[in-house]
Structure 1
């Protein structure tokens, strides 16, 4: 009988004889066999916990197929904790209560419980709160796994009691090691050309489990004497998977951030790459178009007023043509914005004006710029001494337009880049005239 087996089926060793996916058969048996997470194991935090013989509650944050479940199971083994696994997608309060009761009984017998919760971010606030007393009194050691940013998805109370450990996406070297492990297990090389092998690793997109599943498809479809598949034949066989990208979660925000910052950083090549990544991942092109419009007004502004026209035109073109032709307009706008001179002067000026408007209260405009449609208003001085700018030299009067009692403000400071060079010259000239007339305050 196997110690710590979850079921009688497992305890009898019958599960070893049942058909299992290759990824399950290759699951590491020890922490030393885990690939790609050396920063956590060995001299990392988990390695130190294991050597100390005391495991604290943690949250594993990282993309799929990076070993989160495997590491949790192995941690339970090396610390002699009972391993209990639940999925937040399939479990509710009743399931949690049952696990807690069993863990309490187990604790009374002198054995602790490692409770592994997959997709822990799927639990709501009250469900997450249910863990707290059992973590505090030592009934369970909680190991949660999530692909989403814990800062946004998990309660602060839970995070204060559990460290967050980041699992890294597996790089090409780690994925190659997994392929070699699969080949050793199968006793033969994958029937792939070197180019196709590189393509297979690329298809996995950093997902170790996904890579082994793809390799298993190749092994099952190609006999020992099969001719090596090239890149095109491989793509046809396994049906190339879309890049990892969740439009509603971290992938969505990470990629649009990368696109926006590439445009702001005036790198059209990087911007095109992130645009292509988003489109390949199934992002709504009109969402991208809206963000391009925002980039035009936030990061380019009056340094190139045509940037806003380009961004709006790209949105209209996509509305008119649809996909895939309309996507070229998005690409053109992306290149234009990334290549344009940059200025956030108008953006910063508006923010500053909003702060002063909120802090200043309900100050009235100066009377000389108010219309006086009634006799009473004329008697009150409305419109008195107003200077009509078109009648002034250089069409500039230099009169005051700020509320009475407010010092003159300077919100907008053009950068001197692009079209703002001309704007800066005009504003400097008007400031000079205003100073000479003594109208500035």
Structure 2
């Protein structure tokens, strides 16, 4: 029953959160009330939705009524907000058990920092290493067994990075699939609500429940599908474009990461998929477009805070946000024009192929005592192309590196074709076999 599941999660939180710093606000009483309501619904044979009784951790840039939204920053007031974000309302309607708010990098941007109100979340595989970000608590909490569903955001890879670092599944849906009403923005031109789970099936069920448009978020869209979790999960006949230049030429990946990608290509081919090498624009072109748009948007959002209370930002965040002051109108127009070209180029790829296979992170997670190395692992990635184009993408564990930390692959599909993406991801999980876990609830 849901109460039993919740109590197991609460025990796990009590055992591990002192080391992992996942939660910034934990509502045990409220969660128990929600679990009791789920128990009653199941006993009556009338569960309220696909997520009834599922414990959830929510990134602390997403409003939950009755809890503060601090965004990992001193800038934001430490008092409860009065209304839910759209995604939070849907979680409640679906019967989910909201445990509380979990750690994020300051305003969902930058790197782990030690000069903020709460300590950074840590990696359940090794607490000396970061768990990825900016949805750091969402990823670490799922990997540690604190909750099976983490709600994050993804503007340049911020849900898929923790999935890569923590050995779980990170899904960035199509831009606009999940409403962002009530989510503090980093870059409205790029922001997407993302999902972190233990399996592709769990991610599919969550996306089925949460994908819907909102009048308050004009970028939200009605998806052309209603179910994701009941379809075929074999690779036979899939057409896969292997974009190996992202990790072999543009950003040279760790050899173990590269080997995991080659193995994935071979597994897909042996399972009946057509796998061809494919050339997109260089990764740096996507990074450049993303940087200009993100910095311009973020500075516009934060310029009053930066003027009135600059001292309340962490040093790294303040420096990052101020970069946007130097983005001119011509820079932004050129970036948007190049973005259109990149979208069109990727559309040509998807006219011939169902799926793109490429790297997610180029390295295992870096160490907290090596800030330069950590910054390097954040920058060395191939997630940003799918933020720029709006395509759905998913990060999946491919194994463990020799240092005992997870490594990953990434799959992407054409916008709004989550059914193909989920099919390919589920097929990969089957043909790759069971992966080790930081915590196995079984």
Q: Normalising by structure 2, what TM-score?
A: 0.21
Higher RCO, Cα 8 Å, sep 6+: 2
Structure 1 or 2, whichever has the larger Rg, is: 1
User: Per residue, is there more strand in 1 or in 2?
Assistant: 2
Give the alignment's TM-score, normalised by structure 1.
0.21
